[in-house]
Amino acid sequence: MQLQEILYSQGFGTRRVCAGLIQQGLVQVYMPDSGEMPVVIAQAATELEAEGLRFKVQGVEWQYFEKAYLVLHKPAGTECSQKPSTYPSIYTLLPSPLRLRPQKAAVQGVQAVGRLDQDTTGMLLLTDDGKFIHRMSSPKHHVPKVYEVTVKHPLDERQVQKLLAGVVLDDDPAPVRAAACEAVSEFHLRLTLTEGKYHQVKRMLAAVGNRVEGLHRSRIGGVGLPADLAPGQWRWLSAEELVAVQAKG
């Protein structure tokens, strides 16, 4: 693949902008024979093996990925929206290339896989793979998601059993059940869900006579939120994590 095409596919701007970055000497590539010293390539049409290619653009390290799969530690006070109404968008936490990766759809860049409310924190996946978003969002796939819930009133065994047995929400006569539910402490509930209805955790707790005071998603599928990922930080998912995050438990 031509170097300008590689940069374009990774979100560094139009083909003309990418060619300009290369011609100005702003792109360095880790060549197989150059070891850990990247070399400047100034010819936009230079053919390179894209898969696994590491490079620098204006001094910033990047790696080629055909599709982007990210994990973000969502902080409180952010919205999972391209056009936020009140709070800053989670997309402002990402570098520009991830927001500009070319897509056949109208919206460019990576998109959140599902949404978390503005006051909810924790694990959020983002990708530009539409099939992955559909698969992870489909109720048929039953990917478990684990939430750490801080509640207003002391928990008791009756509430836990009700959540496991199923509660009826006001917009659906079919009971909604927790896949797993554990009172970690008097005010801390660990709740596992395999579907994602609007404000589901808050409504389920309200249905058993309690109230959510804090909500944090700690795990999706077989992958937990990385302990070294601070609120507002993101990183690429590894190939192993990409498989594990789709695990049905």
Known catalytic residues?
117
Instruction: Report which of 126, 99, 139, 144 is spatially closest to residue 245, judged by C-alpha positions.
Output: 144
Distance CA 101, CA 10 (A): 5
Q: Which amino acid does the sequence have at 32?
A: P
What b/e string do you get for 23-57 counting C-beta neighbours within 10 Å, with b at 16 or more? eeeebbbbeeeeeeebeebeebeeebebeebebeb
Distance CA 48, CA 29 (A): 10
Instruction: Report which of 111, 135, 138 is spatially closest to residue 125, judged by C-alpha positions.
Output: 111
CB 202 within 8 A of CB 155: no
CB 101 within 8 A of CB 126: no
CB 180 within 8 A of CB 192: yes
